[in-house]
Structure 1
Amino acid sequence: MVSRTTDPEVHVRGQQPPGGVERPRLRAGAAAFTALAALAATGLVAGPAVGATVANPCALPRTSAHHSLGLDTWNGSYARPTRALDAVMVFLSFPDAEPLTTPAELAADHFPATSEYFTRASYGRFDLRAHPRSEWVEMPRDSTSYGIRRDWDSGNRSAYLRDAVAAADEDVDFSRYDIVYLVADPDAPGVDSDATKVVNLDRPLEVDGTEIKRVVTVFERHPPDRNVLAHETGHVFDLADLYHRPEDGKGDWDTHVGDWDVMGSQFGLAPDLFGWHKWKLGWLSRAQVSCVQGSEPQVVSLEPTDAPPPEYGGLGTRLAVVRTGPDSVLAIEARSAAGNDAETCTEGVLVYRVRNGAASGDGPVEVVDAHPDTEACWDRSVYPPLADAPLEVGETITVPGTGVRVEVTDRTEGGSWTVKIAPPVVG
């Protein structure tokens, strides 16, 4: 299945890992602007380090790769979602079209659903507070004059941002907000729904005494694609694209992670964020991450990353990590039909590779397919070969290229999974 993605980055096809599972059976303007240069999701690179987020030998260091998945420090040029963040949603109309919808209708396309997504993903530790404007802001030029499209000309894109912020600044105090969503009239003739993206600014916009470093430009249809704003907002928090873009624009975009994270596909059946992402964002602490070291097997009890915390007590262990090199790890987590993953068609223990030096779109995460000879959910999955990637009870896999052996030995009535992890023998 081909799924439309929203970010205009060029992607390189990744390789699906070989090998398989050992298992008992098979199954089937008014503002002051500094020189504006908009860069489509590639502008700000390493950024300043802000503190040490973790002290853990399994925590990969952050690199200069765009949206590096290293998490020893936080990139201070991005807002970190460990507190409530306020987002303004500005609705833009054009002289060449009379809107067929209202700002309230378009706001309801995305909120409260997007806020609820992040509340579930963060275990209630992050609140995305949306502030949609109630009136249209008219742009000074026709929609067709901006050349809006997926791979957008930088000059036209800069003109669009300049005009939009200047027009909105008459009524919006941008200093009050952490995130800016610019939502275009979906029925204007020059609006291309494939152009939705985050635009990073190599020189921030200075307006209302604050700096705007990035803007989410929304050109979605009404109603929009599922979870599209959750995906784009993930970029605002320095998360990478996990899909790959075929060279000819045709074929499968979802061979890296399939349904298993919204940064891979907003259409996924299990779109909750990977546990590695939750660790990076500050929603999992070291106490919820088991770093598997040494030469002896280690038994870990994993609570599903998508399950809410119990009414009493902490989160429990949600992620196990094995260091496989200076720039790579294997991450191991349980996934269930809960929270953002309520529509998943398979449950189990998911294993995936993480590389801190791979840039957004270059395969920083690759799910290990424990069942490479079968597929699942072919009628609903964005990539059926990975829909049955998780291990079930009684199944074992030795991950190709690492020597790491993962065995699922039990699942308790409470829903936790008992996993035996054997690091590679060194010597």
Structure 2
Amino acid sequence: MTSFLNPFDSGALGAGPAGPAGPGALSIALVSEHASPLATLGGVDAGGQNVHVACLAGALADRGHRVTVYTRRDATHLPERAALRAGVEVHHVPAGPPEQIPKDELLPHMGEFGRYLARVWRSRPPDLVHSHFWMSGLAALRATRELGLPLLHTYHALGTVKRRHQQFADTSPPKRISLETEVGLGCDRVIATCRDEVAELGRMGVPAAKVGIVPCGVDTDLFTPRGPVAERGDQRHQVLQLGRLVPRKGAAVSVAALAELPETELVVVGGPPAERLDQDPEIRRLRTLARETGVADRVRFTGGVPSADVPSLLRAADVVLCPADYEPFGIVPLEAMACGRPVVASAVGGQLDTVADPATGRLVPPRDPAALARAVAELLGDSVLREASGEAGRRRVLRRYDWGQVAAATEAAYCEVLDAKPVVTRAGAV
């Protein structure tokens, strides 16, 4: 039976030396069909997965491995290969037209993606493949089956959860759930990011023996309590919501809660660039709600911002809000805690693992503005409590979610798969 890499076991993460522990230098292929590590963050399809792939690749390179990230070429100006940093290369795969396509419309191009991977890997095979998101898993499964390569998979989000919450608004391909199950059964190992995902995979029929947990990570050198602080407004308190500006992230819940939080400004970070905010339908919806609830003068939308500006914005906030309807993992709570800020998050998905209530913040029911307002008001009303929660959050992140620890745990999963995989010679003999 496969052992779990449990993020709640202090011995599971961060063990071993800073460099490669057992396998020596590996050639690792990360497949991320829509989430390029080079993408600008904040768009509808550019968020936590892009950060995860970029940071995991870098942390694995820091452990001495050679990493290539395979992502779809979605613009004509992109080169075939581009260096992300020392030890990490991005390979743009020609699959479908070289233009932006919503991720839910990419499935017809995954056969072409998989055939391209097989052609590239036939002459220079990686030691192992780690796919990210279900469509990447389909493309990687095609190539690894043909070539006999080890395959690990991280879903980042599951169709069963999306369909349950979005119902008729779900734009995923109809076959998504069955294809996700095919990936889970066909790969050598599933690397889940939280306990909630493990339970969901079990209901899908993916055996627990194939699943281990390695959480997402955060850059604790970039996200730190020390450093520049963004300019604040003239209200006594400031709360902040950061992330993709889509309805399921719950910004409407934060706007509605603001009516119960006097002398407080809400800063919403994400979405299109500031100059295009007026054309964005979600911004227009949120502005209408703010006017209807009488808080329009206390809500500020920044639009998408460069990733380098995010830590200073987090440090300026008294409390960070993460009120998503559902959240497969959620990077923002980690970033906020790493900056020493308390978090009030909905009690869903990965946030059940990352936010420790009451130590590092509060967990509240999703879609409940009143509950969100009560939790935030408790923290805003007690500066000593806010400081203690922020310090506890920073300690929790350093102990469990630093990218060095996450890379070590991921490497351990790679080693288990490699140790169990028969070695096939070029002649096909074991």
TM-score, reference length from structure 2: 0.28
More helix by share: 2
More strand by share: 1
TM-score, reference length from structure 1: 0.28
Structure with bigger RCO (C-alpha 8 Å, 6+ apart): 1
